[in-house]
Structure 1
């Protein structure tokens, strides 16, 4: 009987300890003029198109990406610096313009709709993966620039990984 009482007393403590180990997703960080893109170390704000930020476990600040395509490549890469605790992307449904996608209109990537396969170039000149906070914004974008709407988990590897033909005639949205 004593072992059962002991188990009954310790179970809530063990469950509470498990809950404390869960990492709380940090809030997105506003984009500043000094943020550098993770892969190229260029200033993120100097490039048009949607941006991204990834928060890593144990790191005090997020890593930024000048192009969402690069963010997706990082997510799909088996070689990362640490566990990902949060991923945010620019909500292009509310972005002021393509050249000025906003500094604080971040949305969680797992809730965004992404347009892949459109005819637009991102901030670094490669075909872009464009995030939207709502399906209507994605649909309007697809009507004008082509592509398909997918969630983050369904972005095909070849949309973010592999060689890029920079001689393609890609558009830069207004």
Structure 2
């Protein structure tokens, strides 16, 4: 009986310490700078219009920036990430100065954003964009002007961000 009791004490201490550990808080968003490079294309994020995104990964001091929100959602849906995701922020187009100037520090949590999908909006890299808003009314107003529908992050279909994209080349027209 004494051996069993001695073994239970370390096991109980392990469970109690696990229960008392606090869940790590998500890091705050980082203001966009002129030096931020887009994760996939390694181009300057600030040189492209439309909403942006940043993804924070566990153990990494700096976020990954994306010139298009569509690319960030594609990254989230990919199984090939460098580390677990700790936070995702997107431009709040509800307060953006314009499409070309979405803001350097007006980030919102992607989990609470309302996204417009299927509109005629093209992101900074020319692909159809997933447009984030903090305010659902603003998202609905965007839909009324540009088409599409409002969705949450989880409701965005995979083919919206992972599907093939046709681009118009300069001097060519799409039939």
Q: Shorter-chain TM-score: which interval?
A: 0.7 to 0.9
Aligned-pair CA distance for 1:14: 3.7
Q: Distance in 2 between matches of 1:90 and 1:63?
A: 14
Partner of 2:24: 23
> Do structure 1's residue 102 and structure 2's residue 106 form an aligned pair?
no
Residue pairs, 1:1-174, within 5 angstroms: 10=13, 12-16=16-20, 19-20=21-22, 22-167=23-168
Q: Matched residue pairs, number?
A: 165
User: Which is higher, the Rg of structure 1 or of structure 2?
Assistant: 2
Q: Distance in 1 between matches of 2:145 and 2:130?
A: 15
State the Cα RMSD in Å. Answer: 2.2
Q: Distance in 2 between matches of 1:50 and 1:137?
A: 14
Aligned-pair CA distance for 1:12: 4.4
Aligned-pair CA distance for 1:45: 0.1
Partner of 1:172: none
Aligned-pair CA distance for 1:158: 1.0
Q: Distance in 2 between matches of 1:154 and 1:162?
A: 16
Q: Distance in 2 between matches of 1:14 and 1:66?
A: 39
Which secondary structure state, in structure 2, belongs to the residue aligned with residue 64 of structure 1? strand
Q: Deviations over 1:35-88 (max 9, x none)?
A: 000000000000000000000001000000000010011011111111000000
Give the TM-score normalised by structure 2: 0.87
Aligned-pair CA distance for 1:95: 0.5
Give the TM-score normalised by structure 1: 0.88
Q: Distance in 1 between matches of 2:150 and 2:124?
A: 20
- 5+ residue gaps, structure 2: 170-175
- 5+ residue gaps, structure 1: 169-174
